């Protein structure tokens, strides 16, 4: 048996005993050591879901996790007991048309940890012991599990950057300075952006984004005029807030033939078609990640990406209520980790 963090209803988190399944071919057992609280976890915690997705029965939360291998099936040769690993929370089928085309993030039979999109739901990884496929694990040599727990959201940021095309020498605007927006700023710097500008309506997350490598930050609530000073000089906009006003403001800063990557999820928006048409702007989506997960682990493990400044506080998973409440406060928290 192992202990797991289970959501039953909004604000109803419980520690429960769950069976640890026997290892099958190609599987390993991971002792989970660290897990990051994601925005989707917060939606389940506060609202029981998001959009049309709702919890229909108790579900283990969590998908941003890392730990070490404690056991493996005899046919697993790529990993050893004791290896520190980050665990990819997505398990694509590998044989549908999208998987075969190299678009595993669009797998038609994807199983993603801690998701109520399917019924029965796919239990998450906020548990002490996790049995998973060896192919989901990426080994690290130098970093701890606490640092590697950010590999999944960093992979999301890296995929958004890849969707934007080459950033070499370009001016980049990021709207939304939450964990993903700040990770996008770090990824943009690694990928050669000449200038990185981040906007938000709160000063506290902007301070973290500045520390993480943004050249300039703009509080669009307190000093909106600073955004207008940009004119139409932004080559790439990566919209991370899901807010219509943030997107509209960013559009006004776009240079002709610029690219907008929509990463944030919110309500349906109405956009000025004439601005997109006359500016020949490209507006594209970015969803989860593909091979970027391994890249995220490599960048963290090598020290090329220092994500430590994003971590606000660690909590034992038995204090999950306090941890989720802090993670919900954007003025006080950037990224909150659970220890298992």
Q: What is the DSSP string of 109-161?
A: T-EETTB-SSSS-B--S-BSEEEEEGGGEEEESSS-HHHHTTHHHHHHHHHHH
Q: Is the pLDDT of residue 237 over 90?
A: yes
Q: Are strands 171-175 and 111-112 parallel, antiparallel or unpaired?
A: unpaired
In CATH terms, 157-285 corresponds, of 3.40.50.300, 3.40.50.720, 2.30.22.10, 3.40.1190.10, to: 3.40.50.720
Question: What proportion of the chain, given as a percentage, has pLDDT over 70?
Answer: 100
Q: Average pLDDT of 300-316? A: 96
Confidence of residue 319 (pLDDT cuts 50, 70, 90): very high
Q: Average pLDDT of 146-152? A: 96
- Name the DSSP class of 22: P
Helix 151-164 to helix 179-190 angle (10° resolution) is 60
Buried residues in 133-149 as b, exposed as e (16+ CB within 10 A): bbbbbbbbeebebbbbb
Q: Is the pLDDT of residue 15 over 90?
A: yes
Mean pLDDT lowest among 150-154, 156-160, 267-271: 267-271
Q: Average pLDDT of 182-206? A: 97
Q: Is the pLDDT of residue 271 over 90?
A: no
Span(s) in the chain for CATH 3.90.180.10: 2-150+307-339
Question: What proportion of the chain, given as a percentage, has pLDDT over 90?
Answer: 94
Model pLDDT, residue 309: 93
Q: How far apart are CA 228 and CA 298, in angstroms?
A: 38
Q: Summarize pLDDT for 86-117 with one digit per residue, the tens.
A: 999 999 999 999 999 999 999 999 999 999 99
Q: How far apart are CA 220 and CA 235, in angstroms?
A: 19
Q: How far apart are CA 216 and CA 229, in angstroms?
A: 13
Q: Average pLDDT of 47-76? A: 96
Span(s) in the chain for CATH 3.40.50.720: 157-285
3-state secondary structure of 204: helix
| Sign of the CA dihedral running 199, 204, 207, 213 | negative
* Domain at 2-150+307-339, CATH class: alpha beta
Q: Is the pLDDT of residue 144 over 90?
A: no
Q: What is the mean pLDDT of the chain?
A: 96
Distance, C-alpha 11 to centroid of its chain: 22
């Amino acid at each position: 048996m192992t202990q797991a963090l289970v959501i039953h209803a909004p604000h109803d988190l419980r520690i429960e005993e769950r069976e640890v399944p026997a290892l099958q071919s190609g599987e390993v057992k991971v002792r989970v050591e660290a897990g990051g609280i994601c925005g989707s976890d917060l939606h389940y915690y506060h609202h029981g879901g998001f959009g049309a997705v709702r919890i229909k029965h108790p579900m283990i939360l969590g998908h941003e996790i890392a730990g070490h291998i404690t056991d493996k099936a005899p046919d697993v040769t790529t990993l050893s007991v004791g290896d520190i690993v980050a665990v990819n929370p997505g398990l694509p089928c590998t044989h549908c048309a999208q998987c075969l085309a190299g678009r595993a993030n669009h797998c038609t039979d994807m199983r993603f940890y801690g998701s109520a999109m399917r019924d029965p739901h796919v239990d998450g990884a906020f548990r002490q012991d996790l049995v998973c496929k060896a192919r989901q694990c990426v080994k690290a040599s130098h970093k701890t599990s606490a640092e590697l727990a950010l590999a999944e959201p960093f992979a999301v940021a890296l995929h958004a950057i890849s969707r934007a095309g080459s950033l070499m020498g370009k001016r980049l605007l990021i709207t939304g300075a939450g964990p993903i927006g700040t990770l996008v700023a770090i990824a943009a710097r690694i990928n050669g952006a000449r200038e990185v500008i981040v906007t938000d309506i709160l000063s506290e997350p902007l301070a973290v984004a500045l520390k993480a490598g943004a050249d300039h930050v703009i509080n669009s609530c307190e000093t909106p005029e600073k955004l207008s000073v940009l004119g139409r000089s932004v080559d790439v906009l990566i919209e991370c807030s899901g807010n219509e006003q943030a997107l509209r403001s960013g559009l006004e800063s776009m240079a002709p033939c610029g690219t907008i990557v929509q990463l944030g999820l919110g309500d349906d928006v109405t956009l000025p078609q004439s601005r997109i048409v006359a500016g020949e702007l490209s507006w594209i989506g970015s969803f989860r990640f593909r091979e970027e997960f391994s890249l995220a682990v490599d960048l963290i493990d090598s020290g090329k990406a220092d994500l430590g400044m994003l971590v606000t506080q660690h909590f034992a998973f038995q204090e999950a209520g306090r941890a989720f409440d802090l993670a919900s406060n954007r003025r006080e928290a950037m990224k909150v980790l659970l220890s298992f």
